[in-house]
Amino acid sequence: MKYSVKKTFRAVLCALCVAVMCFSAAACNGNMFRFDDEELDSAIKEVLDTVDFKADESYSGTLRIVTNQEPDQITIMNALLDGFKKKYPSVTVEYDNYPSAGYKDTLTNMNSACSLNGKYETFPDVFWASNTDVTEYQSLDMLMPVDYFDGRDDSFDFANLVQIMVDDCKVGEHVYLMPRDSDRMVMYYNKDFLAKAGVSEEELHPERALTKSEFMALMDKCKNVKNDEGKDVSALDAFWNWESLLWPLLHAYGGSVVKEENGVTVSALNSPETLETYKFIKELNIKGYMTEGGTGNYWRFKNKLSVFLFGVRATLTDLAANISNIGVVPMPNLHDNEDRYFVGTGCSGYAMYRHAANPTSAWLFQKYVASEEGQNAISATGNNIPVLKELFDDDNAVWRNVTVNGNENFNHNAYIYKYDTASLTAQTGYRELIKPITAIKEVSKAFEDSIKYVLQNTTASDYTDEKNGIPKFLRSYHRDINNAIKIASGK
Amino acid sequence: MSIGIKHNSIARGGGALSSSLPCRIKKHRYSKRMLRTSLQCWVFLIPVSVGMVVFAATPIFMSLFFSFTNYNGAFISQIGLFNFKRLFDFSSVAGERFLNSMRVTFIYVIANMAFCTVLSYALALFLHRKMKGIGVVRLLFYLPCLIPGFISGFIYMAIFRYSASGTTGLINTWLLNLGLPQATFFSAKSTAIPTLVFTSVFGLGGGMIMLLAAFSNIPPTLYEAARLDGAGYFKQLFHITIPLSTPIVFYNLVTSLIAGLQTFGTYAAYGTGPEEEFNFMAVEIYRMAFSYHNYGLACAEAYLLFVIVGLLSIIMFKFSGWVHYGDD
Amino acid sequence: MTTDFYTCSTQLISSSRRKARKTALDYIVKYAVALLLLCVVLLPVAFMLFQSVMSYPESSGLEMHLFPHSFQPSNYKIILDYLSQLGNTLLVVAINAFFIPLTACITAFPFARAKFIGKKVAFAIILATVMVPASVLQIPTYTMYATVGLTGKLASLWIQSFFGGGALNIFLVIQFMRTLPKELDEAALIDGASLFRIFAVIIMPLVFNVFVYICINTVIAQWMDFQGPLMYLATGSEKSYTLALKFYVDYTNSTYLSDHYNEMMAMVVCMSLPPVALFLVFQQRMIGGIKIGGLKD
């Protein structure tokens, strides 16, 4: 008996390894390899040929929808499905919700599994996505460009929707998300605290935005309010760590996050304009109007610990449930120049899966979301401004007639003040400029973190100091943004 | 790679002569008995073999395949060695980041291994006595290990938070009340990793329990014999306790090496830390895979990490002569 | 003679009194040191406990303090929401806690006690599987489970326990088995016992404390683990969640719980109780000595 036994053992082991490797390589679906650029037009044409654009109320099919488990999402989806099922009684709808934590990861994992084993029908047809996720999903080829559907369908036109929201849902030239609302930053206030500070509601000029000097004077008047338990109440609560609030202000001051230089996108964060902007925000801290970077979830305002809040419509019912006497005015102008008035807007919506098994029913649902009926159903929940343009100025539209805590005179106009001229989204602002799109997530994160660390770590006496103040953080996040772009471009 | 068995030659027929004879016939001779034993042993190994092939081999080989591509989680458009070339090119951003993550990982692992091994051993020695209520004391030391991972991260953050203008953590609040300046803990590059190593003091209980189990495996007759011979506490420690508990100490070292090189739990609680100081290799791999969606590059980094861990483990095993087993 | 005896006995009595005094001082010193160490080590636990009885404004307040100014034990009512997930968790944990140590012992035995062909290679492969970071194995593993249809089902959490319980557990059992003297099985081998007999009758009873240790460790790890369940159970219905997963989901959805840290801590304290109880019960088993039965000293 020679060492042939050991040899056989080794041979068996090697054969096993090779077999497993071949098996795993073969297990990869052929669809996964894409060595030539996909001809989008022809690929989508194949899908369009399977869609029935003449489908009407008698259409019968199935539809699978998925959202996350936020209570608001579930309420809105249920409101939509009530109407949708009445309109299309023969469509069977399966609605699932996945945990909010890792919602995106769950979907991307499922997509990876589908691309590897070819079972695309296990993925839902329609899923909720926010505007910030569109680029990420698109880089993974998970979204159907529905502008093609718009082209083929006579009964629907994206031009009826608010243009800036449609742009927010685009990557390149194609629209990948059906926006369901158009959200906007406004300034909420607690009427009780306002009274305690000795400011009347008329002083807030609810029909126009406050100028910067008016705003600062207002903050000064409200910084010494105490609540019922004798605790200090801050004048302002805001979540600066969010691009919808930070980017418009930076843009107003003339700064930008990225810029194109010789055909390459580079960071533009480390500029005097950014320093001015961050100085202004830090001043709010130092003058005692605001603690730190504000709080996520707006819990200071909700727990009656601040007078004002920079907030959005999407959380209105939550805020109103906590503050019975809530009022709203348009977002103030935080720049000296009246022409540099920009307000952050954004949306979320429902996307169709690129390899959806039921594209017809998915398109019917997306159209329903953007229709007057669907928009009114969503607005009835109280938290949404419609994305259908005609409903904006319609005095009888549902969203204008929602009573907030019994107050029929709630200032709904604050949400659309100077909508066409002042609205600004991060997508058309800086996200469009970032190439490749896989860098967008990290760049946004670096941008948002920069203000967080400036507010947290620069001390009062030297915050413009080159070595230890705001410039130090600006340099480091400037570098992070450049690195993020380089990594994504393969360097 | 053997676990300390140095006398394999006895297994081979022929004994010490076999290695010197040029003749091939006697070199690897397997007796019938050896074959029979091997067959029996492999029956024991059937569950793990099946598990290995199904749950471990397939994912490992698939991700090995991905490391030669630019798989992004959805499709592949390039196959080649470019991922590895990019990582070894230290002027590229990805390579530089990988190098930085290697540096912080090594610093953390070495500090952590030294700190935890010595302290948990000392703690186990201290608690290895028959005192009233020693069971309760041991339980109390083990309690922090029972806090779930993400909660403990949040708790440590609440305890050690540093903030120049806002809420400070518990310890900094105490320091400020005493009139002392705040300590930067997790927020400054120089103090971040030491603070992290310190927080592992809350997790000493696990290693301590294992060492206590190992101590109780030592027959008390040995101690009695030593005491009769007049040996004091330290002599007993160095000649009985330490040698006979070396298998478990070795286990602790190897597992803390392997687990430490793959530290990932800090990402959820602390993010990447000040100036990327907590960007450990496993965290870098995760970010590359799920933030940049460059799964291929992440796999390449993972296999480089695998090679490093493997080499270090082999070195550890080769130099494990100091481990004293009961069957030698 | 009598003087000698008297001196001897007084010396004995006084020396024993000295010993008694010395032991008392010894005890006090050792307890004091233990107490001091405990104060450091138990800080997170104390923080958790104190937060769990604070009232809501205090726990989410901006000032950090350790000792609560309010006392609100009604926070603990939160556990009633989680009783339906308890069954799932118990099932998963019980299956894992029994089969993982069992298969670990079965696998470790040949490595510790016998020489066979391919031993080095097999050990290297087993340890190698632990060295690959889990992040990159996530997509292929998830794909495998999805192809077979196990995503969203509880079975995905315990199916791996039958197939060799984790390389590190195997390694631990190997180390423990190797501390046992070889005379035990050599005696049995001379009597002509097969390997299976040696394993079942001699070795298994002796490594029982390691078995219990791995069992307890598995229980603790699985009880609190939410990352695995989050990945595999997210697409399933809420009824099949485990305790830790439901807790994590409630903590991250913007629900009542994510705001109320005090009730969250109360839930965490309750979740920690079963592992603590298990530990208390089995502590002696784990740490207590083995009986080297059958061997003459």
CB-based burial of residue C48 (10 Å sphere; 0-12 exposed, 13-18 middle, 19+ buried)? Answer: buried
The pLDDT of residue C290: 38
In this structure, are B23 and B144 located in the same domain? no
The pLDDT of residue C208: 78
Scanning the structure block, which residue is given the tokens 């632990």?
A: C130
Mean pLDDT across chain B, nearest whole number?
81
> Is B65's CB within 8 Å of A23's CB?
no
A8 in C contact zone (CB under 8 Å): no
B176-198 residues labelled b (16+ CB within 10 A) or e (exposed): eeeeeebbbbbbbeebbbebbbb
* Region of residue A198 (left: phi > 0; alpha: psi -120 to 50; beta: else): left
Per the domain annotation, does C206 fall within a domain?
yes
More confident residue, A422 or A5: A422
Indicate the number of domains in chain B. Answer: 2
Label the pairing between strands A126-130 and A61-68.
parallel
Q: Are A222 and A193 in contact (CB under 8 A)?
A: yes
Give the mean model confidence (pLDDT) for residues A398-402: 87
Taking the CA atoms of residue B107, residue B110, residue B112 and residue B113 in that order, the dihedral angle to the nearest 10 degrees is 170
More confident residue, A397 or B15: A397
**Residue A140 tokens, joined:** 């993974």
C231, closest residue in chain A (CA to CA): A106
Could you tell me the CA-to-CA distances from B66 to A31, B113, C106 in Å, in that order? 15, 33, 34
ipTM: 0.84
Quick check: A145 pLDDT over 90? Answer: yes
The pLDDT of residue A371: 92
The pLDDT of residue C7: 62
In this structure, are B32 and B159 located in the same domain? no
**Residue A181 tokens, joined:** 């609302």
CA distance B305 to B301: 6
Q: Mutating which of B5, B38, B43, B45 best tests the C interface, going by the most C Cβ atoms within 10 A? A: B45
Residues 290-319 of A with CB under 8 A from C: 291, 297, 299, 303, 318
CATH 1.10.940.10 fits A183-345+416-488, yes or no: no
In this structure, are B148 and B273 located in the same domain? yes
Give the mean model confidence (pLDDT) for residues B259-264: 84
Scanning the structure block, which residue is given the tokens 């690129």?
A: A354
CATH number of the domain residue C281 falls in? 1.10.3720.10
Q: What is the pLDDT of residues B166-179, one digit of tens each?
A: 677 888 888 888 88
Q: Any idea which architecture A41-182+347-392 has in CATH?
A: 3-Layer(aba) Sandwich (3.40)
- Kindly report, as residue ranges, where domains of CATH 3.40.190.10 are found in chain A: 41-182+347-392, 183-345+416-488
- The Cα of B21 is separated from the nearest Cα of chain A by a number of Å equal to 15
Per the domain annotation, does B142 fall within a domain?
yes
In this structure, are C84 and C172 located in the same domain? yes
Domain extent at residue B11: 1-42
Give the mean model confidence (pLDDT) for residues B24-42: 72
Per the domain annotation, does B176 fall within a domain?
yes
At residue A296 the predicted structure's pLDDT band, cuts being 50, 70 and 90, is low
Indicate the residue type of C29: V
Per the domain annotation, does C89 fall within a domain?
yes
Nearest by CB to B74, from A24, A140, A456: name it. A140
Q: Mutating which of A1, A3, A114, A289 best tests the B interface, going by the most B Cβ atoms within 10 A? A: A1
Tell how far CA B4 is from the center of its chain: 19
The pLDDT of residue A84: 94
In this structure, are B27 and B97 located in the same domain? no
- Contact list in C for residue B155 (CB cut-off 8 A) is 44, 47-48
Indicate the number of domains in chain C. Answer: 2
A29, closest residue in chain C (CA to CA): C143
The pLDDT of residue B8: 39
In this structure, are C126 and C262 located in the same domain? yes
- The Cα of B292 is separated from the nearest Cα of chain A by a number of Å equal to 6
CA distance B98 to A443: 19
Per the domain annotation, does C70 fall within a domain?
no
- Give me the half-sphere count of Cα atoms (radius 13 Å) on the Cβ side of residue A44: 19
Nearest by CB to B293, from A34, A140, A292: name it. A140
Q: Are A408 and A414 in contact (CB under 8 A)?
A: no
Q: What is the pLDDT of residues A190-217, one digit of tens each?
A: 999 999 888 888 888 888 899 999 999 9
Quick check: A310 pLDDT over 80? Answer: yes
In this structure, are C96 and C176 located in the same domain? yes
Query: In order along chain C (297 residues), what is the average pLDDT of each group of 10 residues?
Result: 59 67 78 85 84 72 68 75 81 91 89 83 86 84 88 86 83 82 75 76 74 85 82 84 81 66 79 80 64 32
Domain extent at residue C205: 80-287
Per the domain annotation, does B265 fall within a domain?
yes
Quick check: A232 pLDDT over 60? Answer: yes
Quick check: A178 pLDDT over 90? Answer: yes
At residue A366 the predicted structure's pLDDT band, cuts being 50, 70 and 90, is very high
In this structure, are B36 and B94 located in the same domain? no
A448 in B contact zone (CB under 8 Å): no
The pLDDT of residue C8: 61
Q: Mutating which of B8, B27, B75 best tests the A interface, going by the most A Cβ atoms within 10 A? A: B75
The pLDDT of residue B21: 45
Per the domain annotation, does C292 fall within a domain?
no
Quick check: B57 pLDDT over 60? Answer: yes
Nearest by CB to A297, from C138, C140, C259: name it. C259
In this structure, are C278 and C184 located in the same domain? yes
Per the domain annotation, does C95 fall within a domain?
yes
The pLDDT of residue B301: 92
Quick check: A255 pLDDT over 80? Answer: yes
The pLDDT of residue B20: 47
Q: Are A488 and A438 in contact (CB under 8 A)?
A: yes
The pLDDT of residue B27: 46
* Sequence-separated (6 or more) residues with CB below 8 Å from residue A77: A65, A67, A95, A128
Q: Are B298 and B289 in contact (CB under 8 A)?
A: yes
Q: What is the pLDDT of residues C79-113, one digit of tens each?
A: 777 777 888 888 888 999 999 999 998 888 888 87
Query: Which chains form contacts with chain A, at 3 or more CB pairs under 8 Å?
Result: B, C
The pLDDT of residue A3: 58
Per the domain annotation, does B323 fall within a domain?
no
Give the mean model confidence (pLDDT) for residues A241-252: 92
Per the domain annotation, does B282 fall within a domain?
yes
Quick check: B6 pLDDT over 50? Answer: no
